[in-house]
Structure 1
Amino acid sequence: MAVNFVKEYLEDSKKAFEKISEYIYSHPETRFEEYSSAEFLVAECEKAGFEVQRNAGNIETAFVATYGSGSPVIGFLGEFDALSGLGQEPNQTSYIPTDKNVGHGCGHNLLGTGAFAAACATKKFLEENDLPGTVKFFGCPGEEGGSGKTFMVREGVFDGVDVALTWHPSPGNSIMSLSSLANYQVYFRFKGLSSHAANSPHLGRSALDAVELMNVGVNYLREHVIPEARMHYAITNTGGISPNVVQSDAEVLYLIRSPKVKQVDEIYKRVCKIAEGAALMTETELTIEFDKACSNYIPNRSLEKLLQESLVDAGVKKPTENEIAFAEKLWSTLSEGEKESYLDILKGFGYRGHGSEFEGKYLAESISPYEPTEEVLSGSTDVADVSWVVPTAQLTTSTSALGTPLHTWQMTTQGISSYAHKGMLRAAEAMALTAVRMVTNKEDLESVKQEFNEFKKENPYACPIPENVKPSKL
């Protein structure tokens, strides 16, 4: 009954959800500045009968939409932030950037809308069957480089939630069963003395030299950290564009990752020592500003199994000839390395197999079998911090051509295609069916909670973001 009900509801409502996705897509906004997208979603939540709390966790663009009462409390996590530098005209097979050059290169227009659709379908099922339970749709801003959910967890926004569900667009259909890398993001600012670089260079103290020396030191450090660790940096202030001036101010932003928060912290302290050394060598002053952080993701295997069953129930529709032709053209824009790595992308999202089912195809038409793994995704997500305080599961559904890497113009251009919207509603259906099962089957809910409670006994949560740190815009 539930399968048919949810499927019919989403089919009847698909045009409305596609319009929401299209609105968010056409109003791309970067982290913690998603004013149009958040307000639009809030209005849609209220229109659908949810009661909305704005400014959740003291974040302007965060909100919680609630329907119902009592337990269980089912949460759906929605994102809607975009990426700078990834503006792209939709449904094109060549790179055509937009004037603003901000775009949904990670598909968060789909992610947020799909999670909202799942919340609406679950709400409708509870209404029609007069069932107790609470549905919460969490509007989560700033995932891209901002760790919005980590700030929300720190402020208690997810307290009282029994189960959390979310998804992510990708080229495949699978349960996202991998853990993820914890991270710290930190600014290192150097202050020196300006001077004429030819006439009196001895009077200057170069902050840019300090940044460069720090980067050299960290690059030597790479050999002496665990292989799974990652250290990335961007020089965000070079001190100006005049080579005849000794640069008095310079800044570098570091993103440090590792499988565990403790490992990140250890590497971070070593990076700080290198920065201090660079300041000593250049006789400049160093200021360190902690920007954000997130933990490693904790999969809940009991919930993942149920989500897999729901994904299979949702099924995959065969793509149309036009969708296949579009995907083939996009495949031709990928580099040889990207084509050869298409299976690695799928495996990062939980795919299990050898890829034989994709031979001669450009779009995924199958669902990966579910196999729990101890592997770690070489990426990070703020969903991780939610998973430390609420039993959480994630899935991915195919919204793009095989081989499409995230954070590329190819990902952006497919963001409102018919194929992407089919994948979005497939994810919504799988999440809604899992939520309904949490409401209607107490044994399933108890097994999920028992697994989580056993983990929690041995692993108390500590938010990796210090209390004094606030969310930052780009």
Structure 2
Amino acid sequence: MAHSNKFVKRYLETNEDRFKNVSEYIYYHPETRFEEYSSSEFLASECEKEGFRVDRGVAKIETAFVASYGSDSPVIGFLGEFDALSGLGQVPNKTAYEPGDKNVGHGCGHNLLGTGAFAAACATKKYLEENNLPGTVKFFGCPGEEGGSGKTFMVREGVFEGVDAALTWHPSPANSIMSLSSLANYQVYFKFRGVASHAANSPHLGRSALDAVELMNIGVNYLREHVISEARMHYAVTNTGGISPNVVQADAEVLYLIRAPKVKQVDEIFKRVTKIAEGAALMTETALTIKFDKACSNYIQNRNLEKLLYKNLNTAGIEPPSQDEISFAEKLWSSFTEGEKEGYLDVIRGFGYSGDGSEFAGKYLADTISPYIESWEVLAGSTDVADVSWVVPTAQLTASTSALGTPLHTWQMTTQGISSYAHKGMLRAAEAMSLTAVDLLTDQAAVNLIQQEFKVFKEKNPYSCPIPKDVETSKLNHE
């Protein structure tokens, strides 16, 4: 049997250019949630070229797919994302803001995320083939993470049933195991319907839906003092009722994203927000319609799987950055605000980094792996990976693909998306995940340990999908 460490590294090195090309294709075809038609089909086709069986359109989602190889147990899954973000168009490899001709960009590095998970699945499949081993490798093409909770819909429809362990990663400025939990959330539209009227001649006949939206937002802002400190309530006014101030706005809408450490807490806050919306409708004599858009749970860690992934992240190791990569990162550093520079450690602590930053003194790129700590803190962000973690033992890592201090969802993240340093991090993540999968496919005792930990959790914490059965996925422009 081939030595797994050397085999996986050699496979990824041999196919490095191919995986870079996949990453670049997705990068240059940025698409927002549930409209990733080019990216999804390209990745699915690449899976078929590699010999995977591909099931497209799973969970009644056009751009979701599952690629499978092998038979029998254990079944190891890799989670891949490929959606982009609106408003983050950026010409790559520039150290100043240049949006180019696109209003969409990979400001969260999902071109790297999806490709890295795909590369890990390919390396693991090849290892199974070469050694004629039992077991199954699955690559999950997961759309709509950004504001869509695609994986939560996939969990609701049973797509991950039968998987023994799931692995994924996320680009960032650091190298660590993502050992923190995350915030659960609800995303809900509140739509008000009033009566149009001449704003000067007969304002008394009008009933302003925009007034209702404004009153609701004011009420929620007062609520902020009276919820748990870890909660977050964000909103975007998605319809102001038009651009004519001399018309009383008959239609208006606001989209709320409510977060808290537990789904139960989110639900409690949502009910209070709903009462505020109902009050706004009463005050303005408008009709209120509530449309539940999506939700996700809080992330559940599996410590035994994390430890195995950490071991293999160290085995993969870190290739030192080149002088050109260091110079590029230094120029990007100068584009950050003082607040971003001062808070650069806060960004990576959310990804599981532990330390005081002393190893980064005088540096602009991470060249070390953070020690693994079983953190019980909560990341001030959300991910639909969380719902997978409720039904399958799951572990995540992060690999450095960007300069220290780079915030997610910024042009600076987009500009680094296909850099040589980013692709080094992508392949590092792929190697660590593949080695972990090989360990699981060849060591039933490791699988049993992970499953036992998961069983203890499940016995006390039954899963309930936070998205109602009748709610369907929504594209970014939901109208």
Which letter maps to 2:284? T
Partner of 1:110: 112
Partner of 2:263: 261
Partner of 2:385: 383
| SS class of match (2:229) | coil
Please say if residues 148 and 294 of structure 2, whose CA atoms lie closer than 8 Å, have aligned partners that are also in contact: yes
Partner of 1:396: 398
Partner of 1:439: 441
Deviation at 1:98, TM superposition (A): 2.5
Please say if residues 125 and 137 of structure 2, whose CA atoms lie closer than 8 Å, have aligned partners that are also in contact: yes
RMSD over equivalenced CA pairs, Å:
0.4
Moved over 3 A (4+): none
Partner of 1:215: 217
Of 2, 5, 12 in structure 1, the residue corresponding to residue 4 of structure 2 is: 2
| SS class of match (1:313) | helix
Cα deviations by residue, 1:159-217 (Å, 9 ceiling, x for unpaired): 00000000000000000000000000000000000111111100100000000000000
Q: Distance in 2 between matches of 1:131 and 1:368?
A: 33
Q: Distance in 2 between matches of 1:444 and 1:168?
A: 24
Structure 1 residues not aligned, in runs of 5+: none
Deviation at 1:350, TM superposition (A): 0.1
Partner of 1:225: 227
Of 50, 61, 64 in structure 1, the residue corresponding to residue 63 of structure 2 is: 61
Q: How many residues align?
A: 474
Deviation at 1:442, TM superposition (A): 1.3
Q: Distance in 2 between matches of 1:397 and 1:78?
A: 15
* TM-score normalised to structure 1 length: 1.00
Partner of 1:424: 426
Of 332, 335, 342 in structure 2, the residue corresponding to residue 333 of structure 1 is: 335
Of 200, 203, 208 in structure 2, the residue corresponding to residue 198 of structure 1 is: 200
Partner of 1:238: 240
Deviation at 1:89, TM superposition (A): 0.4
| SS class of match (1:208) | helix
Partner of 1:405: 407
Deviation at 1:438, TM superposition (A): 0.2
Partner of 1:368: 370
Which letter maps to 2:46? E
Which letter maps to 2:256? Y
Q: Distance in 2 between matches of 1:334 and 1:250?
A: 36
* TM-score normalised to structure 2 length: 0.99
Partner of 2:322: 320
| SS class of match (1:134) | strand
Please say if residues 90 and 102 of structure 2, whose CA atoms lie closer than 8 Å, have aligned partners that are also in contact: no
Is 2:377 the counterpart of 1:344?
no
Partner of 1:467: 469
Deviation at 1:219, TM superposition (A): 0.2
Which letter maps to 2:35? E
Structure 2 residues not aligned, in runs of 5+: none
Cα deviations by residue, 1:246-266 (Å, 9 ceiling, x for unpaired): 000000000000000000000
Q: Distance in 2 between matches of 1:467 and 1:371?
A: 37
| SS class of match (2:437) | helix
Name the % identity. Answer: 78
Please say if residues 209 and 241 of structure 2, whose CA atoms lie closer than 8 Å, have aligned partners that are also in contact: yes
Deviation at 1:100, TM superposition (A): 2.4
Partner of 2:307: 305
Q: Distance in 2 between matches of 1:143 and 1:100?
A: 20
1:70-109 equivalent positions in 2, closer than 5 A:
70-109=72-111
Of 11, 14, 18 in structure 2, the residue corresponding to residue 12 of structure 1 is: 14
Cα deviations by residue, 1:257-299 (Å, 9 ceiling, x for unpaired): 0000000000000000000000000000000000000000000
